[in-house]
Structure 1
Amino acid sequence: MTDTQQPVTSQPWGMTPDGQPITLYTLRNPSGIQADIMDYGGVVVRLLTPDRNGNPGDIVLGHDHAEPYFSLETSPYFGALIGRYGNRIAGGRFTLDGQTYQLPVNNGPNSLHGGTRGFNQRLWTGRPLADGPALELTYLSPDGEEGYPGNLSVRVTYTLTGDNALQIDYEARADAPTILNLTNHTYWNLGGDAGRDILGHELTLRADHITPIDGTLIPTGELLPVEGTPFDFRQPTPIGARVDEPNEQLRFAGGYDHNFVLGGEGLRSVAQVRDPESGRRVEVSTDQPGMQFYSGNFLDGSIVGKGGRVYGHRWALCLETQHFPDSPNHPNFPSTVLRPGETFTSRTVYAFSAR
């Protein structure tokens, strides 16, 4: 077997802003699925899967080199690992065990995706694993980083399985009480190589409720039934079918950017996206209680991505498995508190097919 056929290979991929070397890892399985992941931000840079005719195409947005990922203006969390707390926290404040903590405010009046320099802008330590092909990424977030309490040790493992899935396993431990909400922020376009928008993609999302938001995209604390609303994706529905309907929730977010409440427990199938043109499908399974469905509303044609491709409005969608946004400020939401002696574990699987 030549080096290019090894299940995990690596190559230098530039330097971080403070001069540390970045490595790009490539995972391949026998079916021809390929995932390129860099240790800066744990970013899924490229994901090649075949269409119904067997032609490979890249189904995620991103860049051809590392530098654009350093700025949110050129890379709005493309493919990145998100933490300590994915999604928004109102006012950047939460109270834990009677103590109030202030986080950086970086999204209007709120804290978003871990703060000014979340896990998406940190250099992780990468290690290829014999099982897989797989890549283990570890990061130690020190006490006080971005305002969060406690030293937090995080391990994320990307595995490209033999049955054509990208499996993401999360694990974390802390030495003091803290809050945690880990996710991955890949932008999907199943057409391949981002040649068009995703409004024709058909979404199935097995959720009976969303957590409705206010004008700053913070949950109100209620649960809103999807029945009879543009948020009912319990049957396959084109994303563009109702995205521009006159609806207050859609108006607040400029489209879909909402947490869907997932029923059931344990690892279960919760969503599917299908592109009728290419035949590609992604089936999403997770053990998390929620999923943020985002329809690429803030993509506006200002970002030039891989191969010089301009990423236009709604050129991708995100399916971020998670706990609910702003959970620390809503006692009725599933808890995101992690205490010493506990181990947080979670698994999300994106399974690929075409027909």
Structure 2
Amino acid sequence: MSVKVEKVSMGEGKTTQLVRIENERLTVELVAYGAHLYRVLARDRYGIAENVVLNVTPISALATDLQYFGATVGPVAGRIKQAQIGSLSLEANENDNSLHSGSQGWSFQEWDLDWQETDDEITVIFSYIDHQSGFPGPITTQVIYHLIDEYLSITFTGESPVDTFFNPTNHGYFNLSGELKTDIRQQILEISADHILETDAELIPTGTFLPVAETAYDFTTAKPLENALNELPNGLDTAFVFDDHAGENQVTLYDEVSGRRLEVMSEAGSVIIYSASGWNRDTQVNYHPMAKELGLAIEFQELPDLPHHPEWGSIALPPDEKVAKTIHYRFGVN
């Protein structure tokens, strides 16, 4: 078990902190700017450890990354229609809508860093007080990364003296081939969700849940991503909706060549799966040009635009009530 922290440049005289935590199973790198999940070195069936997370390079490019590679997204992930919740006006940063809490959201802030280490587990704590995202506040928040054996968990906490909103996620992109040897098309995906959320041309929910049975969106049994992507010209940028009574919900990704298997679990009501199929940005990831379908984003969160659909639940954060949400990642081999 080890923790190493170093200062790295963000350009223009600014620095951030790169945290490297390691045990016998995994090596995880985190960045204090945006509380990013930056790299995960996971072993294949032959014991070779390679990075399975897409990370923007160099680190200074995180400040201008609008695709949120590994970023903490908050206080509210996803799109808010017309950038409006009742009388609350938000920044419209995608068409007329608010995406991922806008340019002053948590992905673009420098977080304070602390950590705790014992003989068998490591906890890294990023802390931030949000006065500027545009959501009512202040919102006192922490992003807590916890590493034990082959498990990495991320817990998001939020508390505010006023009524506000809280629906964060991590926006990690995964490719289990290791070091981007291949794209994601041959990797095998399984999702324990029977429905997707119908959206309009701007990816705003219409209010309708569509069954996945007998469609390209049916991952209730494991299948190669290629099977679906061949039928979906625009790829996946889709909210998969879990049954209210399903308990802990799961996404599994598997790479047959390396044997790596990733299980992602949460009690959140939906997961956004994004295949980057229409990629047209000039971005460097892992010191390679980003290309279409090079990584799969797995974003557990409550349903997008939920304040406009109270019948689905709530993302309200009541005054002086601390709320916590956790995503679990298990990196294994078959």
TM-score bucket (shorter structure): over 0.9
Partner Cα separation in structure 2 for residue 15 and residue 179 of structure 1? 30
Whether 1:22 and 2:8 are equivalent positions in the alignment is: no
Q: CA deviation at 1:64?
A: 4.2
Poorly superposed stretches of 4+, deviation over 4 Å? 264-267
Whether 1:130 and 2:125 are equivalent positions in the alignment is: no
Q: CA deviation at 1:121?
A: 0.7
Q: CA deviation at 1:30?
A: 2.2
> What is the aligned counterpart of 1:336 among 308, 312, 315?
315
Q: CA deviation at 1:299?
A: 2.8
Partner Cα separation in structure 2 for residue 281 and residue 339 of structure 1? 38
Partner Cα separation in structure 2 for residue 139 and residue 265 of structure 1? 33
CA offsets per residue over residues 126-181 of structure 1, 9 Å max, x none? 10113521200111001xx232112101111101112x011111111011111111
Q: TM-score, normalised by structure 2?
A: 0.95
**Alignment map for 1:1-355 (pairs within 5 Å):** 7-15=2-10, 19-31=13-25, 33-72=26-65, 76-95=67-86, 100-131=87-118, 132-142=121-131, 145-162=132-149, 164-245=150-231, 250=232, 254-264=234-244, 268-300=248-280, 302-306=282-286, 308-355=287-334
Q: CA deviation at 1:20?
A: 4.2
| 8 Å contact from structure 1 (residues 267, 285) kept in 2 | no
Partner Cα separation in structure 2 for residue 354 and residue 125 of structure 1? 34
Are residues 161 and 341 of structure 1, via their aligned partners in 2, closer, same or farther at CA, if it must alter by over 3 Å? same
Partner Cα separation in structure 2 for residue 326 and residue 283 of structure 1? 26
Partner Cα separation in structure 2 for residue 301 and residue 217 of structure 1? 19
Aligned residues: 332
| 8 Å contact from structure 2 (residues 77, 301) kept in 1 | yes
Instruction: Give 3-state SS (helix, strand or coil) of 1:292's partner.
Output: strand
Partner Cα separation in structure 1 for residue 38 and residue 244 of structure 2? 31
Q: TM-score, normalised by structure 1?
A: 0.89
- Structure 1 segments unaligned to the other structure (5+ residues): 1-5
Letter in 2 for 1:282: L
Partner Cα separation in structure 1 for residue 186 and residue 89 of structure 2? 41
Partner Cα separation in structure 2 for residue 210 and residue 283 of structure 1? 20
CA offsets per residue over residues 58-81 of structure 1, 9 Å max, x none? 0011134321111136xx201110
Letter in 1 for 2:188: E
Alignment identity in percent? Answer: 29
- Structure 2 segments unaligned to the other structure (5+ residues): none
Partner Cα separation in structure 2 for residue 167 and residue 298 of structure 1? 30
| 8 Å contact from structure 2 (residues 190, 221) kept in 1 | yes
CA offsets per residue over residues 27-49 of structure 1, 9 Å max, x none? 10123x10000100011111100
